[in-house]
Structure 1
């Protein structure tokens, strides 16, 4: 029997050692602990960005194993990307639970389909068509339609949407009209429906299946063969689904069949990060979870451990459609984040004359951040469309700054990485006597033969890129040795497993990424470009639902930043062009009110740092925040007079601005703000919180 297929006799539970279950729980905050302690029955976790959702669910699985409630081979954790699945497996291994299956929907379904095909269907499973374009092109040609690249891409997207929403070709036209998907590539829905039917016929004629068929066929087997369904359900008894807001009707149908009549399901998601509706994903299963599973518990993770209060405050305000009574009006099911990190730098807003000027502004910010000690690998430039990256690439290359484009050449497909993995495996097998047992030192010794050196080369370009790749492997070896220890052979296994799911280690260089591709990632500094009408929201977005998805996309971009966040746009596309662009509607009331042409608001040019910070705050803060700041200043004046002290000795203006921005609701949260020490917290903390509550009720 295949080791990845369901097993009738599960392995015995892993013993993590006495008291390990309690120690696991001690590492969690109260909300995360509530997730980890809920081991039986349906559980819905509404987890905001940066709130530690992966930590909560991996500790939940480890706690279940440690307490004897779970057996590792009876748990299936499902997520949406191979990278996320690989990260989950790695975290579980670090917790001493290496046997849990963590896979994407497609990977789990494919393994089951491959295993059961000979029994359920007979013969060998058909090959999977790697891309839809050739078959879509064949179908389009039979109808006399255009077969240019853009048309085939759009038609292939419609094929995928129809299949993941369980829409048959004969039902497509009506469903597409209802979903607002009319006029795809200038083709009427009825004609697109014909393309779908001919596409399915072409697959049958060639004897291949596509990626959606993997799930569809496995669903068919589970429906038709109760014996196979029982075997799967006897294997997997506990399910965890991450990023549940992105589930499609097709995936939900498979999940329902995996579960059968059982209710051992934990789902984790964030409706505020629903950005794939155009592919058929829907948050309805997340928001309707408690209706589908009566008695289900809901836990909300709101403590944001990723970002500074300044970033968190902006994220909450971007997500809110409006304010009512001073409180944010968030979408249904959305989580209002509560910052847990100390206060950080103000969010910067920059307006530039044209795209080239904006790209040069990116270079300036990267240089500033690098001078301040931020590694290039912790800086990202995010944009709405991939076409925006070209001018940024040119500017960075001209400045001699290394960069990586997400979606470009994959790390494990680089020749130097392939050679490095071969060398590491060879050393593990043939040089055991010369290895020291110090993984980091041994990997350095082996990779020095491949061109790695202690210091990076002075050259840029290909030479530096090769060194960066090898250095990323060295850094990963150091991390692995520190977290759980590993031999050279075990390290090669780790690299091979990462290659399988494209979970690349960190490479030194600025990351360039679309907002969609950035989901699930984070950096110390984020430069978010093109924050203007026509790009955010993109001009193609029509209707309220599409606009709100664009809002969520900006929210995702903002919440990728841990500490530094710069948001910019260009007034015109080309130099000398008409300055017709305006800041994004999602930043209305947040973008600086006054800006002179060709200037960037947060650069501090011509002003001292304190004056610039005050001007930035006054220009960008919303009315409620400005009102709270003035109330805090009035309270400070009274407090200072009562104690016969200068006002600044109570709290500096900078501290009051941060308090007004963050709007703390507890003493621990207030203590995170710069300028609020233990003595001032004890003396003024209660009074400050009272002012916040009185001026900003509901915050």
Structure 2
């Protein structure tokens, strides 16, 4: 383990701060001026390194704390950075998200430059997107609106203007959402802006857009911001979007006092417009930059680190970069386990029982996580944990500070601090005040809402205890100030419960025990990842999941409906791919359990020659590109004719309806019902709803156009 953070009770100096670091972290902290790029692998202490760098710069007299701006991507990460800086004796340095920093500047300059109040920021854009779609006569169902809202965000963060949208998506091969033509989406982008203007509102991305416009168009505003901030630190730089980079460039001006930190192997947000290009091209932009590599992994056991390294070694590096090879620093731990189950219910039940056993043996529930690819997978685990009496927390659910009991507790604590109890020790005062709301040291026997309420109040009590430990004589007033700051930044304290989260939502977090569940083809990688780069990003997403585990890691999947384990596990499981665990609930089926048709779904080997399949298109049809077709070629021809006719009628590119690989998979599977068609890779819920009846008619040998005429 790395040296512990220096205690805040003793005065710190620059040398003391450096003494807490390993050699590479110390090198990063000493690089105080000019451009610096820190390539930091998972668990290598990057937050420790960059906060120590800021503290070292301040204590050495190189930085004025008020002139330092550190930006990251989540309120939680920014809050953690501020907490660490305070522990190192640094007050005044700013640690914010891009949006928070931009909003603060807009709120200050808008009345002075534009006049009046900043327009209202809408928390969700779905309602405005639906209204814009309605004005254009486009579909307004929930799925379409959600997809269009995501595309609006993508266009903004990539700085793709509506007039350029059609050209950009066509040139890049990007598929417009919801089965719409690029020209229709371009019109939607314009209509959406009109709706916002009519309502006098702006959205989340507009905060960055307006900040960029204000700084670019007003030299005095830009000069004032640059006088205020002279040193910049950007965390998670591999996730910067073109819009965020534009804002950063305007903050910098012609200076190069910039330290960026990131890991190309953790690039998992390209679908939102994020790109590792800025990180990978940093040395080209700043040839004189200092580069430091952090590879000592203090988070995970050697067993977990070995799996993480092996996973990336088989592909997944972003932009042609070479992945950082982590070096484990912790003592050995339990072997990574690979578990196969008969179906998803059995998998969820097994995870819940194991979690209950670990908690009974002394592991805190908050140190256990169940991670999965899509939010829709959470339901089975929620039910299984509830049945097992295990408390859980769903990341992405109701925000902590919006819970009724938390709002009430916050008000009571603030009132107590103002009424003369402000000097009381934080931990004692929190227990006393919250006991008036019914909080007790022991949890209630009942589950459900009563347990959730107790968990919320207990999180506040623990925060008081942690504050007392980290700050010595922390008072109730200090606790209330900490809660105010955390509420403003949405930086929630830890709630005692097993965490359920998608792999994307787990980024930046860590637990003692991690269950990676649902690792089957079609989910990991996700079925719509077809290009080599899309599949590589899915591999990086699994890497992020693996590196969340400190001590215990369990990877699991089920064989239901002919599912196959994720291709990413090939060559990693013990025994050349055999399972190390087979729970008793597993049926006696062989490797190819299920019907012949089910076995062909996202196959990993060719049904003709038996060779490994290398592309998503080959896996969809279950054969190599050079092997003879194993599908009904007559049906495939009918499907292509139908698709061509439909694409012309709707002015859509043919591949937007279905790709050739998906049509071949349909012609091979010969689905006779909607559920069977839904299992074909490339047929999602939206396309099933839109084209399902036509496709099933074609499989039956009927002409969809004639059927429609008869109706």
TM range (shorter): 0.7 to 0.9
The equivalent residue for 2:218 is: 225
SS of match in other structure, 2:504: helix
- What aligned pairs does 1:8-407 form with structure 2 within 5 A after superposition? 20-321=13-314, 332-407=321-396
Q: Residues 82 and 104 of structure 1 are in contact (CA less than 8 Å); yes or no, is this contact kept in structure 2?
A: yes
Is 1:467 the counterpart of 2:450? The answer is no
**What value does the CA root-mean-square deviation take over the aligned residues?**
2.2
118-127 vs 239-248, which moves further = 118-127
- Cα distance in 2 for partners of 1:521, 1:255 equals 26
Q: Is the 8 A contact 2:460 2:493 kept in 1?
A: yes
SS of residue in 1 equivalent to 2:509 = coil
How big is the shift at 1:411?
1.5
User: Cα deviations across residues 90-144 of structure 1 (Å, max 9, x unaligned)?
Assistant: 1111111121111111111111112111232222222222222122112211221
Question: In 2, distance between residues paired with 1:72 and 1:598?
Answer: 54
1:427 to 2:410 alignment: no
Aligned partners of 1:193, 1:277: CA distance in 2, in Å? 21
Shift of 1:19: 6.2
Q: Which moved more, 1:332-341 or 1:593-602?
A: 593-602
Preserved CA contact (<8 Å) 2:318 2:537: no
Asked whether 1:409 is paired with 2:401, we answer no
Distance (Å, rounded) in 2 between the aligned partners of 1:316 and 1:494: 38
Residue 485 (structure 2) pairs with residue 497 (structure 1): yes
Give me the whole-angstrom Cα distance separating, in 2, the residues matched to 1:53 and 1:179: 34
Contact (CA 8 Å) 2:267, 2:318: kept in 1 or not? no
Aligned equivalents of 2:82, 2:577: Cα separation in 1: 50
Residues in 2 aligned to 1:562 and 1:602: alpha-carbon distance in whole angstroms? 28
Deviation at 1:591, TM superposition (A): 2.3
Q: Secondary structure at the match of 1:28?
A: coil
Contact 2:423 2:476 in 1 (8 A): no
C-alpha spacing 1:207/1:178, structure 2 compared with 1 (3 Å): same
> What corresponds to 1:483 in structure 2?
470
User: Which deviates further from its counterpart, 222-231 or 456-465?
Assistant: 456-465
1:447 alignment partner in structure 2: 434
Per-residue deviation, residues 343-389 of structure 1 (Å, max 9, x unmatched): 00000000001010101111222133224321111000000001101
Once structures 1 and 2 are overlaid, which stretch shifts more, 174-183 or 511-520?
A: 174-183
- TM-aligned CA distance change 1:594 to 1:601, over 3 Å: farther
Instruction: Tell me which residue corresponds to 2:686.
Output: none
CA distance in 2, matches of 1:122, 1:446: 45
Q: How much does 1:523 deviate?
A: 0.3
- Contact residue 46 and residue 300 of structure 1 kept, 8 A: yes
Q: Distance in 2 between the 1:398 and 1:219 partners?
A: 51
Deviates more, 1:80-89 or 1:331-340: 331-340
Q: Distance in 2 between matches of 1:601 and 1:542?
A: 35
Query: Alpha-carbon deviation of 1:560?
Result: 0.4
The alignment partner of 2:207 has SS state of: helix
- Closer, same or farther: CA 251–549 of 1 in aligned 2, 3 Å: same
Is 1:506–2:490 an aligned residue pair?
Answer: no
| Distance in structure 1 (CA, Å) of the matches to 2:287 and 2:572 | 41
* C-alpha contact 2:28 2:50 (8 A) present in aligned 1: yes
Instruction: Check whether the contact 1:352–1:598 (CA below 8 A) recurs between aligned residues.
Output: no
CA offset at residue 263 of structure 1?
0.4
Looking at structure 1, the residues matched to 440 and 203 of structure 2 have their Cα atoms a distance apart, in angstroms, of 45
**Which of 573, 582, 606 in structure 2 is aligned with 1:591?**
573
Corresponding residue for residue 689 of structure 1 = none
| TM-score for both structures, normalised by structure 1 | 0.80
| Cα distance between partner residues in 2 of 1:537 and 1:556 | 13
Q: Does 1:519 align with 2:545?
A: no
Residue deviations 1:209-238, cap 9 Å, x none?
Answer: 222222122212212211111111000000
Q: Quote the Cα distance in structure 1 between the aligned partners of 2:568 and 2:300.
A: 20
Distance 2:287 2:125 in 1: 40
1-structure distance, mates of 2:357, 2:389:
14
Q: Distance in 2 between matches of 1:19 and 1:582?
A: 56
Distance 2:524 2:514 in 1: 16
